[in-house]
Amino acid sequence: MDAVSSKRILIVEDEKDVVDLLTLNLRKAGGFTIATASDGAAGLTKARGEKPDFIILDLMLPKMPGLEVCKLLKSDPATRHIPILMLTARAEEIDRIVGLEFGADDYVTKPFSPREVILRVKAILRRGAADETADRLSAGPITIDPSRHEVLVDGKPVDLTSLEFKLLRTLMQRRGRVQERDRLLNEVWGYESVIDTRTVDTHVRRLREKLGKAGDIVETVRGFGYRFREK
C-alpha cells in the first residue's frame, strides 16, 4: 500500500513493550502510519489535532484514564467517527462494558496476540469503509444513514453510541425476522462465545428509550430475541 492510502493509527499506551509490539506488527502488516502517545491527556490532544483513522486505546493510562479519553472523543462530533479499539486487562470487565457503552468499537484483552489485534483493526476499518457506501435505510419514522452515522426519528437526529447504531442497523436490515440474542452478540458485538446475553437486553432497552415513541418498533420475542417490526 502506498503512503496516500495508508491508514493513520494512533496508539495510546504507556507500556513501552506493548507499543513496540503493536508498532512492529502493524509495520509488518503494512498499510499503516503509526503515531503514539504515552498518557491519556496527550492521546486526547493528538486525537483531536491529528484526527487519525483509527485509535488503539489502553484503559490504564497516566494523567487521564482511557475510558475518559474514549468518552470525550465519542461525544465530540469532530472525533466520534474515529474507531476505537480498547486494550483491557482481564480484571477490567466492568471498564470494558462501560467502554463499549461510551462508544468504543471493540476491545482486546491483555495479553493479546498481535495478529488478533491486526485482524480486529482491519475488520473495523472494513466495516467503516462499507458504511461509507451503504444506502440509507428507512422504516416507519426511523431513517438511518450509515455513511454519516446518522439516525433520524421523524426527521430529528437521535444520538446513538456506535454499538446502538450497529444494533439498530442490524435489526432494520432484517426487518420482520427474529434475531436471537446470541446471534446479535456475535454480529453486533463481535463476541465469538456467548458471555452474557443480558448485555443485548440492556442495549435494546437503552435504544428504545432513545428512539422515544418510535421505540416500540423493536419488538421483544419472548424466549428468542428481538425483531424490527414489519409495519
Q: Which residues bind Ca ion (CB under 5 A)?
A: 14-15, 58, 60
45 vs 138, which CB is nearer to Ca ion? 45
Please name the residue that has the C-alpha cell 499506551.
13
43 vs 146, which CB is nearer to Ca ion? 43
Please name the residue that has the C-alpha cell 458504511.
131
95 vs 164, which CB is nearer to Ca ion? 95
| d(C-alpha 83, C-alpha 65), whole Å | 18
Tell the smallest beta-carbon distance from residue 15 to Ca ion (Å): 5
60 vs 123, which CB is nearer to Ca ion? 60
CB contact burial 96-108 (16+ within 10 A = b; e otherwise): beebbbbbbbbbb
Decide: helix, strand or coil at residue 207.
helix
Tell the smallest beta-carbon distance from residue 110 to Ca ion (Å): 9
The crossing angle, in degrees rounded to 10, of helices 162-173 and 198-211 is 90
47 vs 184, which CB is nearer to Ca ion? 47
18: Cβ contacts below 8 Å, ≥ 6 apart: 58, 87, 110
